[in-house]
C-alpha cells in the first residue's frame, strides 16, 4: 500500500524515521524549512548507517542505495504524491494544527496523515483536516533505528482501515506496536513523564543529589538510564511541554510540573542539546 513516505521535520526524530523507512526500501521525502537542518539530517542518517554496518546490522554495500532513496525538500507541495506523511515537528499544538491543515490541502486524498506527537491529541489534530478518518498517531521512540516500539494512537474518528494499514506497516518495519487510546500522554509518557517530574521534585526538595537519584533508579529498578539523565536526553523543554499537556488535559494537580523544571527551562538549561541540564555536556 505504501511506496512513498513523507517525513515533515528533519530533526532527531524526523531523520530517524526517514532512516528506518529508507532502510526498509521505501522512497522517502524529508521536509524542513531549514536547508542547514536538512543537510545535518542527511549527514546524520549516513553516519548512523555506517555505525549499523560496523555492527553487522546492514551491509556496507547497502548504504549508498538507502541514501539514494531519501530526498530532501523545502517545498511542502512535493508531498503531493506521498501515500503516507508522518509529521515530526516540534511538540506544539498550534504548529501541528497549522501543518495538518496545509498537508490536508497538498497530499492526495487517499493518503494517510500520521503524527509522531508524544502527547498531543490525535482527535484534535484530525479535526482540522477534511480526512479525520485517515489521521493517526505513530509515536516512534528515540533513537528510532534502535528502539523497537511504535506507539499507535487512534483518534476518535480514525477508521479501522487506517488503523489496520498502519499496524501492518509497523510490522514491516520490524517494530512492535503498542496501541493507545487518545488521552493525554498516551501510554509511554503518561507513565514516564510523571516519574521524571517526581525525580525533579526529589532533587528540588533536597532528598538526594541528581547523581544519587539516577543511581538509585538505575541500580534499584534496573533502568538503563536514570530519570534525570533521561530528561536531559529528551530535552527539558519537551519534558515540561508534556507535563503541561498532562496537567491541562486531566486538570489533576498530580501532574503539576516541578518549579525547578520550569526554572531550568526558563534559563535555557534544556539538557544535552544546550550543553547544560541536570548534568553538563
Residues at the annotated binding site? 9-14, 32, 91, 96, 118, 142, 273
Cα separation, 14 vs 116, whole angstroms: 9
Cα separation, 30 vs 147, whole angstroms: 21
- Among 15, 115, 116, 189, which one carries the catalytic annotation? 189
The answer to whether 149 and 114 have CB atoms below 8 angstroms apart is no
**Does the annotation count 48 as an active-site position?**
no
- Among 118, 119, 180, 197, which one carries the catalytic annotation? 118
**Does the annotation count 151 as an active-site position?**
yes
- Among 15, 19, 48, 151, which one carries the catalytic annotation? 151
**Does the annotation count 189 as an active-site position?**
yes
- 142: how many CB neighbours lie within 10 A of its CB? 13
- Among 19, 121, 139, 197, which one carries the catalytic annotation? 139
Residues at the annotated binding site for NAD(+)? 9-14, 32, 91, 96, 118, 142, 273
**Does the annotation count 34 as an active-site position?**
no
Q: Would you name the residues annotated as active-site residues?
A: 118, 139, 151, 189
Amino acid at each position: 500500500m505504501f511506496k512513498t513516505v513523507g517525513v515533515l521535520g528533519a530533526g532527531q526524530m524526523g531523520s530517524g524515521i526517514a532512516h528506518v523507512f529508507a532502510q526498509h526500501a521505501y522512497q522517502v521525502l524529508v521536509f524542513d524549512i531549514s536547508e542547514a537542518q536538512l543537510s545535518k539530517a542527511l549527514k546524520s542518517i549516513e553516519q548512523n548507517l555506517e555505525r549499523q554496518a560496523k555492527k553487522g546490522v546492514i551491509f556496507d554495500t547497502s548504504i549508498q542505495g538507502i541514501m539514494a532513496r531519501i530526498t530532501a525538500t523545502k517545498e511542502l507541495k512535493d508531498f503531493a504524491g506521498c501515500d503516507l506523511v508522518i509529521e515530526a515537528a516540534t511538540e506544539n499544538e498550534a504548529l501541528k494544527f497549522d501543518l495538518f491543515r496545509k498537508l490536508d490541502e497538498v497530499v492526495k486524498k487517499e493518503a494517510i496523515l500520521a503524527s509522531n506527537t508524544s502527547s498531543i491529541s490525535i482527535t484534535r489534530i484530525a479535526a482540522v483536516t477534511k480526512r479525520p478518518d485517515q489521521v493517526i498517531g505513530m509515536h516512534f521512540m528515540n533513537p528510532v533505528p534502535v528502539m523497537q516500539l511504535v506507539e499507535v494512537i487512534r483518534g476518535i474518528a480514525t477508521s479501522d482501515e487506517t488503523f489496520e494499514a498502519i499496524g501492518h506497516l509497523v510490522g514491516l518495519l520490524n517494530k512492535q506496536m503498542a496501541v493507545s487510546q487518545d488521552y493525554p500522554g498516551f501510554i509511554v509518557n503518561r507513565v514516564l513523564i510523571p516519574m521524571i517530574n517526581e525525580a525533579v521534585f526529589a532533587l528540588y526538595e533536597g532528598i538526594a543529589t541528581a547523581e544519587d537519584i539516577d543511581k538509585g533508579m538505575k541500580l534499584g529498578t534496573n533502568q538503563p538510564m536514570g530519570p534525570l539523565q533521561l530528561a536531559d536526553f529528551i530535552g527539558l523543554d519537551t519534558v515540561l511541554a508534556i507535563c503541561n499537556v498532562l496537567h491541562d488535559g486531566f486538570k489533576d494537580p498530580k501532574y503539576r510540573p516541578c518549579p525547578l523544571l520550569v526554572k531550568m527551562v526558563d534559563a535555557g538549561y534544556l539538557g544535552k542539546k544546550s550543553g547544560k541540564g541536570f548534568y553538563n555536556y
